[in-house]
Amino acid sequence: MPYYIGDVIKDEKRLVARTPEKFRETGIDVKLKTVVTDVDPEERVVRLSDGSILTYEILVMATGTTPFLPPMPGVDLEGVFTLKRLTDAIRIKTYIRERQCRKALIVGAGFIGMEMCEALRSLGIETEVVHRGTMPVNRWDPEFLKVIMEELKRNEVSFLTRVEMQSIEKGKDFRLRLNTNKGPLEADLILMALGVKPNVRLAAGMGLQIGKTGAIQVNFAQRTSLEGVYAVGDCCEVYHRISRQWVHIPLGDIANKQGRVAGANIGGSSLIFPGVVGAQSFRIFKLEVAATGLGEREAAANGFDPVSTIVWGNALAGPMPGNTQVGIKLLADRSTGKLLGAQAVGEAGAVSRINTLSCALWNEMVLDEIGYLDLAYAPPFSSAWDPIHMAAQGLLRQIRGQ
C-alpha cells in the first residue's frame, strides 16, 4: 500500500477531513502533518520525525520549493508573509480581514509580486512594489515592461526601484516598517515575493544527483539517479526543447505533467515527458502578459544568433468595437530562420497568440512558415493578417536585409 506524505492542505479543515479518507478508498494511506527527516536508499526506508520508519519500493520526491527570504532582522514579524502554499493565501486573507490592513508592500517584482498587486488593490489596499532593480519581470522586452509599468500606475500601484532592504521592525503609522537605503517604508503587510528555491535537502542527503540549476536531476521518465526513486514538480528539473538544456521552471502545469508521467512509468506503462518550450503567462489588472521560448541572453548563451522584432497589431480585426492593440515580439536565429522565442502583451489576445507560437516552437518552425500559418480568421477574432504573420514576415525581411 503506497503512502502519501504531505502537509499541502493541513489548515483547510474540510479538506483535511476528506482527503485521507478519499485516498484510503483507493488503497492509498495519506499521512498528513508528517515530516520526513531522512531517506536511506540502500535499505529503502524513510525515517519520520516521530522516530518511526516506512519502507518503500518506489519513492517519489515531490518536495517542491521554498520561497526565498533574505537573512534580515524582522522577517519573522507578524504581518510579513511569503506566498507559496494554499495555507499562505488563507493566512494572508485572514490577516487582512482581522487587522483591517490599509497598506501593503510587495517586495520583489516577479510573477507573484505582479499578480498580488491586483489581488491587493481589488481589496482597496494601498500597494507599493519595492524592487532591487529598475523594471519588473525582466523576462520581457523593455518596450513591454513600459506597458506593464503604465498598467501599474493606472491602477495606483507605486513602484520603488533600486531598493536595498536593511531590516523590518514595528511601525508607527502602520504596523510594520521596512528600513531601506531609500529610507523607511511603512505598511500593515509586507509580502516577500523574491522567488523560490527547490527543496533538495532530503534528495541531496540520500545521494540523488542535483543539477546545475540546484534542482533534482531527472530523465524523460522522471527517474532520478537512484533506481526506484522518481522526482516530480518544482523540486526537479525539466527539459527545455529550444535550449536543449535541463532547466528549473517551477510552474503548476509542468508539475502536473511530470506527476502524470511518473505515475504512468511507476504503473508499468512507458511514458516520456517531451519537455517544455518555456510558455508562461500572468495577468496584471487588464493586461495579459505572456512569453515562450528563449530571450536574447539565453539564445546567445546557447550559441544561437538571435534577431528580434516587435510589432503592434489589432487584437481583433481593425473596425471591430472594443478592439485593443497587442504587441508581439518574435526572436529567431539568424542563420536558420528558426523561431527561438516570443513575447506578447495586450488587453486581449496576448496569451492565445503565445500558445500558438509555443506550438510553433515545439515543432521548430521557421519564420517563412509562421508568416503563412493558417489561423482561424474572422473579424471578431483577428485581422486577415494576424500580428503573428506580420511579426514573422517583418523579422524575415530584417534577417534578409530587405
Q: Enumerate residues 195-254 that contact a copy of itself by CB under 8 A.
A: 241, 251-254
Q: Which is nearer to a copy of itself, 68 or 377 (CB)?
A: 377
**Closer residue to a copy of itself in complex, CB, 203/365:** 365
Indicate the residue among 183 and 252 with the shorter CB distance to a copy of itself: 252
Stretch that binds a copy of itself, among 32-40, 43-51, 298-306, 372-380 (CB under 8 A): 372-380
Inter-residue long-range contacts of 15-24, CB under 8 Å, 24+ positions, other chains counted: none
Q: Binding string to a copy of itself for residues 332 to 371, with x set by CB under 8 A, is what?
A: -----------------x-xxxxxx-xxx-xx-x--xx--
Q: Is 171 or 346 the residue whose CB approaches a copy of itself more closely?
A: 346
Return the closest-CA partner of residue 395 out of 285, 328, 307: 307
Of residues 36 and 351, the one with the C-beta less far from a copy of itself? 351
Which window, 89-97, 134-142, 197-205, 276-284, contacts a copy of itself (CB under 8 A)? 276-284
Least distance to a copy of itself, CB of residue 123, Å: 15
Number of residues that bind a copy of itself (CB under 8 A): 50
Name the one range near a copy of itself by CB under 8 A: 1-9, 211-219, 269-277, 328-336: 269-277
Site residues (vs a copy of itself, CB under 8 A): 241, 251-257, 261, 273-283, 288, 290-292, 349, 351-356, 358-360, 362-363, 365, 368-369, 372-378, 380-381, 384-385
